[in-house]
């Protein structure tokens, strides 16, 4: 592929707000302003699994401004978020054993990172998925879509 085409693809990805799971992994950043650096994660259906690498680029500790990344079907998003609050910080704000959760990272504070592997067979093409931070109050600003392509 010519370098001009690669640059065009990268620029299109940046301006679309999407992150393509290149090489079956994605890097997502979260900050102290309660923002992810993307609103959409595109996953190639040819991947058997993909890895979500979450990095907290801020400086605040996790008990004040912790972030995680939880993936659920969009229809389950609100219920999973509400049940996560009851799990508390010790449970990463994710209900233990919740079958509605496709995958989740642990809760991280400023400067920390975590990764989670996602079995792509758990994601159906055409189904709507949401990723979000389940720290109480964060999902209003920190959420996006996961799309199988």
Residues making up the binding site for Cu cation: 67, 133, 138, 142
Q: How do strand 40-43 and strand 143-148 relate by DSSP bridges?
A: parallel
Q: How far apart are CA 144 and CA 38, in angstroms?
A: 7
CB atoms within 10 A of CB 134: 30
The closest of 120, 145, 133 to 35, measured between CA atoms, is 133
Q: How far apart are CA 66 and CA 106, in angstroms?
A: 10
Q: How far is CA 66 from the centre of its chain?
A: 14
User: Token pair for residue 121?
Assistant: 């067979």
Annotated binding site: 67, 133, 138, 142
């Amino acid at each position: 592929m010519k370098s001009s085409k690669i640059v065009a693809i990268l620029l299109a990805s940046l301006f679309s707000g999407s992150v393509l799971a290149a090489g079956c992994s994605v890097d997502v950043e979260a900050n102290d302003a309660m923002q992810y650096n993307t609103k959409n994660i595109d996953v190639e259906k040819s991947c058997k699994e993909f890895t979500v690498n979450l990095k907290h680029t801020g400086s605040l500790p996790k008990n004040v401004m912790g972030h995680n990344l939880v993936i659920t079907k969009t229809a389950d998003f609100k219920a999973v978020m509400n049940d996560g609050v009851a799990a508390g910080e010790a449970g990463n704000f994710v209900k233990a054993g919740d079958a509605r959760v496709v995958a989740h990272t642990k809760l991280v504070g400023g400067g920390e990172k975590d990764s989670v592997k996602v079995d792509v067979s758990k994601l159906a093409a055409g189904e709507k998925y949401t990723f979000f931070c389940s720290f109480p109050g964060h999902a209003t600003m920190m959420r996006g879509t996961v799309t199988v392509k």
